[in-house]
Amino acid sequence: MMSDNLRGAIYMGVAMAAFTFGDAAMKLVTQTLPLFQTIAMRGAVSVSLLAVIAWRTGAWRLPDSPQDRRRLALRTAAEVLATLLFLGALMHMPLANLSAILQMLPLAVTLGAALAFREPVGWRRMLAIFVGFLGVLLIIRPGSDGFDIWSVVGLGSVLCVVVRDLTTRRMSAGLPSVLVALAASVAVALMGLAGTAVTGWVAVGLHEVLLVGFAASALIVGYLSSVKTMRVGEIGFVAPFRYTALIWATLLGYLVFGTLPDALTLLGAAVVIGTGIFTLYRERRIARDRAQAG
């Protein structure tokens, strides 16, 4: 019989694959369609699918708590900005390079929780976070000839995701996850639609329609799989499997776009992943020690 940890690891792997395949589809379609039009089209499909899921699960209810309403609004705003920055960077960066930057997320969330919520972080994890940031510098290389401002844009999307995730932590358990995702999808779709007023709308072929439909479907699969991940298994066990996203991004970057990260990018990614896994291990060990002491 399959253990909860193994199921959680599989769900995490599926989520990372779905998100990465969806990103690759979005990168392809933005080569022929304006960014805001692509966001609006994907948003229309995502909103439709999530609305059906919300209806079938009875999640159509607004939060009762004023605090939850404020947190939902902040989370939604962070999601909109994160999407805009991420897809903007994705248009101009190799998929694997941007994915390498995103692997900083677990470290950034740990640091954000320490600063915003005063969650205790020992010197070992603080050192790991510092080393992880050095790994990011190896990836983006500010001041070098190969430096690209879009790497900083990608890093900005990570900071927005940190705000999103920390806000989500403070939401009450009674707030349906599907409703949270639906609110974000509606806001992102409206942002894309508003942007088309500036960039315009161009004719769409069957190829673009299929790519956008695939990207939206992959986004939903990734979201549902990530929710299942958090409901089975130990977070400390399944969380490291999020780094499989870099494997998929490197593979798709080579097969679809003919690009591969250079040696320094791979070294920086290895540093970020290594420090991230160490941080997760320390968090898991501290939680176990506290449980035993209690």
Q: Is the pLDDT of residue 14 over 80?
A: yes
Mean pLDDT across the stretch 132-142? 87
- The domain total for the chain is 1
DSSP state of 193: H
By the 10 Å C-beta count (0-12 exposed, 13-18 middle, 19+ buried), 156 is classed as: middle
pLDDT in tens, 183-220: 889 999 999 999 999 989 999 999 999 999 999 999 88
What residues make up the domain containing 70?
4-293
Reported as a pLDDT band with limits 50, 70 and 90, residue 172 is: confident
Share of the chain above pLDDT 70, in %: 94
